[in-house]
Amino acid sequence: MKSCQITHTIGRRALKKNMATVFASKGCVGRCTFCHRYYKGYTTIAAEQVTEYIRRIAEERNVGLLLFQEEDFGSNAAVTAKIIAFLKQSGLNWTASAVRAKTATEEVLKSWKEAGCVNVNFGIESCSPKMLSVMEKSARVEDNLNALRLCNKYRIATIIGLVIGMPGETEETIGETISNLASVIPDDISLVYEICLNFFQAVPGTPGYDFARHMGLIGSSPREEELYIESLHETTANEISHYLNFTDYEKEEVLYWKDYIPMELLCAYLRKHGTLKVLKYKKSRRFYYAAVYGLFPRSIRRFLLKYYTVLRHYGVSGLADLITRKLFHQRPKVYSGTDRSLREINKYFEAGKPWPILKKLS
């Protein structure tokens, strides 16, 4: 059990409680092409075993908040229902760090809320139909949006997790993600509104890694492969340094998407609730930045943000180098047409056949 001290305030009385990490399952039922798995397959732990463990640590360790920190909480409906029934009478609050959007039906989230759920996070990853196909996500855009709507309805906090920069990603797919997510901004200004973005990371054991090798982005010799894997050590997926660039844009241009998506969504948030009202209620500086950013027309602010991001990250020489390459050495159009699962594309390579997109370009 991992624990840290948290404080619940009831009236003027503060109740000090611990947070405990709990697992009710191992693995995931999904087959996402970017995901490195901690456990092969999917299996649940017996509900009786999980509830007995929760009962014991709650009594012995003064626990007030549980964190279900597995890869896929709730996919086994029967087992989960037994755990939820126990949690409902336990008086504990709890969160789930990874839930599939398809799991989050109205009936499920309503029962979870009644059982003390305060936070659920989904692997939304994208709200572009094309990119969901590339990722081999079983969820549709509407499944993602419905899960977020229901969290807003039942006041369950959530963080919108996205993966950007996979093969096929374009300004258009980024725009689709922004437009769709802007349609499910919470009506209640008091609800948490957070977005977490990561760049696609080609990790060994994933179809994304195999695709990178087939495309020559990772060296073919054992030493070259070893050096690439070593480069991933202590590198987080929200950093651009590790990114191999699976787009038809320059790598420096891809970087700005990390700021562009949240800034556009914050602008939508300000439009929905009113800028003055939000700035009065929300004290985070990101809302003030978004208020200034939103003063410009979208095409202009996107242009300014892109090149400001390049200048800030790469300096004047980096910006000059980018402009030179865009003017005189444009990247060939290779990845933009990717519109199917990377697992399926890899089969073409493994069979010695040309990948259909490359065949069209040749």
Q: What is the model's pLDDT at position 161?
A: 93
pLDDT tens sequence across 303-327: 999 999 999 999 999 999 999 999 9
Res. 173 pLDDT band, cuts 50 70 90 = very high
Q: What is the mean pLDDT of residues 212-232?
A: 91
Radius of gyration of the chain (CA): 22
How many C-beta atoms lie closer than 10 Å to residue 304's C-beta?
Answer: 12
Is pLDDT at 38 greater than 80 in this prediction? no
Q: What is the model's pLDDT at position 354?
A: 73
Local structure of 190: helix, strand or coil: coil
Fold of 3-199: TIM Barrel (3.20.20)
Q: Where are the domains of the chain?
A: 3-199
| Predicted structure pTM score | 0.91
Query: Which of 117, 118, 1 lies closest to 59, judged by CA?
Result: 1
Tell me how far apart the alpha carbons of residues 247 and 172 are, in angstroms, rounded to a whole number.
Answer: 12
Is pLDDT at 359 greater than 70 in this prediction? no
Tell me how far apart the alpha carbons of residues 57 and 64 are, in angstroms, rounded to a whole number.
Answer: 10
Q: Cα 134 from chain centroid?
A: 15
